Chains A and B, each alone.
Chain A
Amino acid sequence: MSEKQRLTRDQIAVRAARELPDGAFVNLGWGIPNLIADHLPVGITVYFHSENGILGMGRRAKPGEEDFDLVDAMKVPVTLIPGASFFNQADAHLMTRGGHLDVAVLGAFQVSERGDLANWKVPGAKGAGAIGGAMDIAAGTKRVMVCMEHTTRDGQPKIVRECTYPLTCLACVDTIVTDLAVLDVTERGLLLRDLVPGWTAAEVQQLTGAPLNF
Chain B
Amino acid sequence: MKSKICATLDAAVDSISDGARIMFGGFGGSGFPNNLIQALVRRGTKELTAISNNCGTRDGELSPLFKSGQIRHVIAAFPGPHSFAFQERHAAGEVTIELVPQGILCERMRAAAAGLLGFYTTVGVATEVAAGKEERVINGQRCILEMPIHADFAFIKADKSDGLGNLTYRLAARNFNPIMAMAAATTIAEVEEVVSVGAIDPEVVVTPAIFVHRVVVAKGIRYV
Give me the interface of A with B, judged by CB distance under 8 Å: 50-54, 67-75, 86-90, 92-94, 96-97, 121, 126-136, 139-140, 166-170
Contacts and interface: CB of A to CB of B under 8 A. Distances in A.
Contacts of A140: 122-123
A67 B30 CA distance: 10
9 contacts: A53-B174, A73-B27, A129-B99, A129-B128, A132-B102, A135-B124, A136-B102, A139-B124, A166-B128
Nearest to A118: B127
A94 B174 CA distance: 16
Interface in B28-50: 28-31
Interface in B94-112: 97, 99-104, 106-107, 109-110
Contacts of A69: 30-31, 170-173
A71 B194 CA distance: 25
A150 B78 CA distance: 26
A152 B178 CA distance: 41
Contacts of B116: none
B80 interface: yes
Contacts of B107: 90, 93
Contacts of A73: 27-28
A71 B106 CA distance: 19
Contacts of B101: 131, 133-136
A99 B192 CA distance: 36
Contact of A89 (B79, B81, B124, B179): B179
Nearest to B177: A88
A89 B175 contact: yes
Contacts of B124: 135, 139
A75 B78 CA distance: 13
B7 interface: no
Contacts of B91: 126-127
B97 A128 contact: yes
A52 B28 contact: yes
For the complex of A and B, the 10 pairs showing the least CB-CB separation, nearest first, are A93-B103, A136-B103, A135-B101, A90-B106, A132-B78, A69-B171, A133-B102, A69-B173, A52-B27, A75-B28
B222 A89 contact: no
A86 B31 CA distance: 14
B24 interface: no
Contact of A128 (B31, B99, B142): B99
B30 A93 contact: no
Of B53, B170, B171, B222, most buried by chain A (CB within 10 Å of CB) is B171
Contacts of A129: 79, 99, 128
A93 B99 contact: no
B67 interface: no
B14 to A, nearest CB: 28
Contacts of B206: 88
Contacts of A52: 27-28, 30, 172, 175
B172 A131 contact: no
B126 A167 contact: yes
Contacts of B29: 68, 71, 75
Contacts of A72: 28
B112 to A, nearest CB: 12
B176 interface: yes
Contacts of B175: 52-53, 88-89
A133 B77 contact: yes
A132 B176 CA distance: 13
Contacts of B110: 90
Nearest to A72: B28
Given A54-B172, A128-B97, A170-B125, A68 B103 contact: no
A130 to B, nearest CB: 5
Contact of A71 (B77, B87, B172): B172
